[in-house]
Amino acid sequence: MSHPAINIKKPKTYHYHDEWEEEFFFAMKNNKCICIICLLSVALPKRANVERHFRTVHKQYENNYPLGTEIRKAKVKQLMMQLSMQQSYFMRSNTKSKSATMASFKVAEILTKHKKPFEDGEIWKEGFIKAGELLFQNFKNKSEIISVIKDLSLSRNTVMRRTEAINGNLEELLKENIDKCRFLSLQFDESTDITDIAQLCVFIRMVFQDMSVTEELLTILPMKGQTRGHDIYNSFKSFINKTEFPIHKLVSITTDGAPAMIGKHNGFIALCKNDDDIPNFTNYHCIIHQQVLCSKVLNSDNVMNVAFKIVNSIRGSSLQRRKFRALLEECESDLGELLLHTDVRWLSRAKFLKRFLDLLPEIKEFMATTNKSYPQLEDNKWVLDLAFLSDITAKLNELNLQLQGKNKTLTDMVSAVNTFKAKLSLLETQLRKGNLRQFENMAAKSKERNPSEYDQYADKITLLRNEFVKRFKDISQIEDVIFFMSFPFNNEIQIEEISIKFKEFLDVDQILIEEEILKLKYDIFLKSRASSQNNFWNLLCEEKYPYLWRCAAYLTTFFGSTFLCESTFSTMNAIKTKHRSRLTDDHLTACLRIATSSYEPNYHKLAENMQCHVSNASFDTT
């Protein structure tokens, strides 16, 4: 059966022809057929359209500039040059506007990193202009430079919006890393801001396939009501559900020792462990907090209470403070005045005691001029107690500083604590022998060199060392695993014993762990590179050593302390002050993220996503 022929309409195509430039004064620019006389474009670049426009709108050009003459060619050339100049002007203007927008983003980031308020952007701009007037006064393009600076948008609202946009960009980068990471751990801490709103700070530590690590602020969760364990849990669980946070990657949580965090039944950790949506994880009490709690066993009230009273009597009165400073000037002391101490600032106690001890002669002389009497200042035994406390707190401070900082691994922190415990044993032995080589303040104040005189101080060091052993018992349980992961090719390692520790740590089959340890022990490729590689475990093939690789990743992921949260609270107190008490929770989070982040914002992307306008004399339009 024959089918009737079907007429298929062939679509028409239209193409611009170069001869139309001289014939009809039309040119093709940016895929548009444009009249170079009036700059109007035609819908379709076909001959009938361009001819109709030329004959109707610009028919006088046919008489004034006859086709084929030199005068017509000159006119076409002139109009084409004008069109090119006009387009390049708008292109330069757009580039200039984009540069100004990117610059305003950079200034906003710097202001936030330095904890400055949004309105300081206007001060920056004023300073730019005033400095530019002087710096570039002999430059030929001075007016152009000043004009560019004036185009910079740095009003309060502009800096605020730039901060919001940068925060959004950093959140995107963080989300990308969270999606890519293999495992993650969290640290939690809570503090109140200037308006007494409890802010729950959450930091995240991510480990990737190549064993690289990134630490970033995950979120700040404001808690307007109570801060009990289930309040913290509900706030965090709401955040997980809202952001679709991949909680299945969680391997550990680190907190302080507050009952709301580690309470046996209603604490935050207990509630998380009872949640089926949250995987099994390891939890740690902040090592820095535990180290500070260990120092409480020294029982230094007999020294601290007297020193407090004396310092407060001098520093608490403006007149007494001036008199004491005048006395120091007369004695030509270069130590400065007495320092204050508070238990919240852990490191201040050693500095407080050291300054008090150094200024003890001046303090005695000054107190003699007042009506207050402190016989302890003349008691050699009390002065020796003061010297001992100054020496031992200085050593505790050294440990505290070693435990602080970003990118501290659990291995680093355990090593520092174990070193200090060994040092305490050495100090105890030396004191019992009357050796004061490591106690310079005691050596300076001691009148007699009788070794039995120092037994009481050796007993305090023994008490301190025992407290360290007791408080770090949970860390010591995985110490053998940490040791093996640091020295996997040590011939003294007993495979059966260490495999038991691995089984408890990873909750896996002991036989499989033993096989992997044996395989690793005789792996010539890895053994030859163990001493030359800074990060040995990134050489491990996960398919070949799945459990050892996971153990290395876990230990790399673990937070050992809540230092990042603590330092962020110091930043929060510098940002949200009594002068910025109306700062919203969202803006506080944005400022803290920018101030603490290690990410570099994508300024080009931020500028492209915004409508680039220059600053207006009366207001900013961006």
Residue 76 lies in a domain: yes
Question: Contact 591/601 with Cβ under 8 angstroms?
Answer: no
Which of residues 346 and 4 earns the better pLDDT score?
Answer: 346
Q: Show the tokens assigned to 596.
A: 């603490």
- Helix 495-506 vs helix 546-557: crossing angle, to nearest 10: 60
DSSP annotation of 173 reads: H
- Distance between CA atoms of residues 422 and 428, nearest Å: 10
Which of residues 609 and 125 earns the better pLDDT score?
Answer: 125
Which of residues 473 and 533 earns the better pLDDT score?
Answer: 473
Q: Mean pLDDT throughout 455-473?
A: 90
352 shares its domain with 462: yes
pLDDT in tens, 52-65: 888 888 888 877 88
pLDDT in tens, 91-106: 454 555 778 888 889 9
pLDDT in tens, 142-158: 888 888 888 888 999 99
pLDDT in tens, 18-27: 888 888 888 8
Cα 444 from chain centroid (whole Å) = 43
pLDDT band at 276 (very low <50, low <70, confident <90, very high): very high
Residue 10 lies in a domain: no
What percent of the chain lies above the pLDDT cut of 90? 38
Domain boundary among 420, 455, 475: 475
134 shares its domain with 148: yes
551 shares its domain with 584: no
pLDDT of residue 451: 67
434 shares its domain with 396: yes
Q: Mean pLDDT throughout 469-475?
A: 84
40 shares its domain with 122: no
38 shares its domain with 146: no
Q: Mean pLDDT throughout 586-599?
A: 95
Average pLDDT of every residue of the chain: 86
72 shares its domain with 210: no
pLDDT of residue 608: 80
Cα dihedral 352, 357, 360, 366, rounded to 10, equals: 0
| Domains identified in the chain, total number | 4
Residue 402 lies in a domain: yes
235 shares its domain with 303: no
pLDDT in tens, 478-532: 888 888 888 888 777 888 888 888 888 888 888 988 898 888 888 888 877 776 5
Half-sphere exposure in the Cβ direction for 52 (13 Å, CA): 9
Domain boundary among 88, 111, 129: 88
Half-sphere exposure in the Cβ direction for 173 (13 Å, CA): 21
Q: Mean pLDDT throughout 561-578?
A: 93
pLDDT of residue 12: 52
Q: SS3 string of 295-313?
A: HHHHCCHHHHHHHHHHHHH
Q: What is the pTM of this model?
A: 0.79
- Distance between CA atoms of residues 568 and 596, nearest Å: 7
- Distance between CA atoms of residues 140 and 19, nearest Å: 44
- Distance between CA atoms of residues 259 and 162, nearest Å: 40
Domain boundary among 507, 526, 557: 557
- Distance between CA atoms of residues 609 and 590, nearest Å: 19
Instruction: Look up the domain containing 380 and give its range.
Output: 295-475
Half-sphere exposure in the Cβ direction for 398 (13 Å, CA): 10
Question: Contact 239/171 with Cβ under 8 angstroms?
Answer: no
Question: Contact 121/108 with Cβ under 8 angstroms?
Answer: yes
List the one residue out of 33, 38, 3, 37 whose CA is nearest residue 18: 33
DSSP annotation of 600 reads: P
Residue 179 lies in a domain: yes
Residue 12 lies in a domain: no
Lowest mean pLDDT among 169-178, 235-244, 513-522: 513-522
Q: Is the pLDDT confidence value at 315 over 60?
A: yes
109 shares its domain with 233: yes
460 shares its domain with 484: no
pLDDT band at 534 (very low <50, low <70, confident <90, very high): low
Which own/partner pairs from 105-110 qualify as long-range (CB within 8 Å, at least 24 positions apart)? 105/162, 105/165, 105/166, 105/601, 105/603, 105/606, 105/607, 106/603, 107/152, 107/154, 107/159, 107/162, 108/154, 108/158, 108/159, 108/162, 108/163, 108/166, 109/162, 109/166, 109/594, 109/601
Cα dihedral 92, 97, 98, 104, rounded to 10, equals: 150
512 shares its domain with 443: no
Q: Mean pLDDT throughout 67-84?
A: 83
Q: How many CB atoms lie within 10 A of CB 168?
A: 14
Half-sphere exposure in the Cβ direction for 297 (13 Å, CA): 19
Residue 453 lies in a domain: yes
Residue 258 lies in a domain: yes
In sequence order, what are the residues at sequence separation of 6 or more whose Cβ sits closer than 8 angstroms to the Cβ of residue 297? 463, 464, 467
- Distance between CA atoms of residues 549 and 216, nearest Å: 24
List the one residue out of 565, 571, 562 whose CA is nearest residue 290: 562
pLDDT band at 334 (very low <50, low <70, confident <90, very high): confident
Question: Contact 554/249 with Cβ under 8 angstroms?
Answer: no
Q: Which residues of 303-328 are buried (b: 16+ CB within 10 A; e: fewer)?
A: bbebbeebbebbeeeeeeeeebeebb
In sequence order, what are the residues at sequence separation of 6 or more whose Cβ sits closer than 8 angstroms to the Cβ of residue 583? 575, 576, 591
Residue 564 lies in a domain: no
230 shares its domain with 359: no
